[in-house]
Structure 1
Amino acid sequence: MIIGVSYDLLRWEEKDIITEAKKSGFKAIPIFTKDFYSAIGVGENYSELEADVIIQRNTSHARALTTSLIFEGWNYNVVNDATSLFKCGNKLYTLSLLAKHNIKTPRTIVTFSCLLYTSDAALGDVYKRQDEDILYSFLEYQEYTTSQFRQIYLVQEFVKKPNRDIRIFVMGDEAPVGIYRVNERNWKTNTALGARALPLKIDDELRDLALKVRDIMGGFFLGIDIFEDPERGYLVNEVNGVPEYKNTVRVNNFNVSSYLLNKLREWIKK
């Protein structure tokens, strides 16, 4: 099997995918998208690339979405595809789809409250209300950004989670591994902001929830972020279409890249 790896920044995950592909006897072809160009509608394509599947690993949401669209237009299998990336990349779209299918999420309104997002999740900015000066500074800043969503604000409740959240991974039709992201000193549970990764024991309820979210959002390889609410149980907060997993591998001793490649091989053979 020939694997293309579409990337703009060679992180640990991309290197590991290429290494594990070679160990498994696959041919791995890096596709550096900052040097990438395409011609549409004039009969040209990336014909020198022979790939059974292209794994989308761009850190830039816009670049990931665009290159997935291009590769799909050239009839390549792409993981994840552009449609699922678009759903994951827009938080309003994500929450609307989940609500439509009765998946519990944090309460979210388009007005003033505790947590503030722009609807474009790719911006990645989350603010907890501490005082109005911080909030209004952010609102003023947004007026000068170029995002098409700059005047659409999603205000989300602060969920009283137990100093942690959950990241669970879906690969194909399975949800084999996940982590707790724990932070006792800060409400933000992103590992890049100081949270610790701990192994997650996946129960049936959590596994079923992750697979339901996959069915709703589409995609083949997803990282699903879930809160534990003391009264409402599991709340799905975000779905990531190009998830990082270095810490998951480290604390679980679970080879995510190898598992992903094996699931892709099963999928391609069908």
Structure 2
Amino acid sequence: MTRVGFLCSRVRKDEKLLLEELRDRADVERIDPREVSLALDSPEGAEVSPEELDVVVDRAMSYSRGLYTARFFGSYGVPVVNTSDVARVCGDKVETSLALREADVRTPDTRVAFTPESALETVEAVGYPVVVKPIVGSWARLLAKVNDRDSAEAVFEHKKVLGSYEHSVFYVQDFVDKPGRDIRVAVVGGEAVAAMYRESDDWITNASVGAETTACETDGRLGSVAVDAARAVGAEDGVVGVDIMEDGDELSVHEVNHSLEFKALTEASGVNVAGRYADRVMEVAE
């Protein structure tokens, strides 16, 4: 029987749904990245050796833990969904923007600067309003819509005081005046399988911060754009969530998530996303 390593430190609703689907198809061994030590030839502290696994699923909440654990298991010869290469590109917004641009996938005008002074000059060159984001992070944390010079100076000074590596890179995007919503699309194995609108009176429309969700069709241009975005980050064989904004008559991809959260998407679309996810894991294991 197929053996699946399930890389996870905390079982949320998403992980519970996926575990249920996987256990209907395979033997599943949970691997907590907080409890293992990764040597060059084998992990220590895990209850199962790499030779016993057919595939590993990365569901680590910590980006760095998931990234490096996936990289190690890949080096042991175990296929991983998603690979560390996909995690590296999706987990770094600079890498994501460059990958989308290089693949000719439409994405908001994006600039990167490395000091508060050059960041301020960059913002004024782009024109207000802009969105300032941390290069690593999720769930809309530390996003700021900057409407004028005073707020720009305050945001950049705050980032300077935070002092970490991530906050020394100033990632600035043109603000897209979307129609009060954006779209999340699940792409599984190169196919757009489910989508939802996320609507809010606030400019941030993440479901994690209270946006209302409704079903959205995946056919036509929307599905094509989502699949192109997944391919751009190297996830044509994996499972990702693609976030898309309606920009007038155009569609702009602003994020690709390598650790797809699908609870709200399943409820909104009626699609068993966990089942499609598990099916893809089994296909990779083969």
The reply to whether residue 33 of structure 1 matches residue 33 of structure 2 is yes
Tell me the percent identity: 28
Report the Cα offset of residue 121 of structure 1.
Answer: 4.3
Residue matched to 2:13: 12
Contact 2:96 2:255 (C-alpha < 8 Å) held by counterparts? yes
Displacement of 1:134 after TM fit?
A: 4.2
CA contact (8 A) 2:54 2:285 kept: yes
SS at match of 1:169: strand
Deviates more, 1:86-95 or 1:208-217: 208-217
2:167 aligned counterpart, secondary structure: coil
Please say if residues 3 and 55 of structure 1, whose CA atoms lie closer than 8 Å, have aligned partners that are also in contact: yes
Cα 1:107–1:44, aligned 2, differ >3 Å: closer, same or farther?
closer
Q: How does 1:166-245 map to 2 (within 5 A)?
A: 166-183=183-200, 185-219=201-235, 220-231=238-249, 233-245=250-262
Partner of residue 259, structure 1:
276
- 1:74-99 CA distance string (max 9 Å, x none): 11111111111110111111111211
Closer, same or farther in 2 for the Cα pair 1:201/1:47, shift >3 Å?
same
**Is 1:5–1:14's contact at 8 Å kept on the other side of the alignment?**
no
Cα distance in 2 for partners of 1:74, 1:266 equals 19
The alpha-carbon distance between structure 1 residues 86 and 44, as it changes in their structure 2 partners (threshold 3 A), is: closer
Cα distance in 2 for residues equivalent to 1:238 and 1:81 = 17
Matched residue, 2:3: 2
Most deviating of 128-137 and 222-231: 128-137
Separation in structure 2 between the aligned mates of residue 146 and residue 7 of structure 1, nearest angstrom = 29
Amino acid aligned to 1:104: R
Which residue identity does 1:117 align to in structure 2?
K
Give secondary structure in 2 for the equivalent of 1:166.
strand
- Contact kept, 8 Å, 1:91 with 1:119, in 2: the verdict is yes
Q: Which residue number in structure 2 is paired with residue 68 of structure 1?
A: 70
Three-state SS of the structure 2 residue aligned to 1:143 is helix
Distance in 1 (alpha carbons) for counterparts of 2:186 and 2:36: 29
Q: Secondary structure at the match of 1:65?
A: helix
Distance 2:191 2:33 in 1: 29
Q: Displacement, 1:217?
A: 0.6
Distance change >3 Å, CA 25–CA 95, structure 1 → 2: closer
Contact 1:170–1:222 (CA<8 Å) still a contact in 2?
yes
State the number of aligned residues: 265
Offset, 1:170? 0.8
CA RMSD of aligned residues (A): 2.0
Query: Equivalents in 2 of 1:29, 1:133: separation in Å?
Result: 52
Task: Determine the C-alpha separation between the residues in 1 that align with 2:98 and 2:247.
Answer: 20
Segment drifting more, 78-87 vs 200-209:
200-209
Residue 40 of structure 1 deviates from its aligned partner by: 2.4
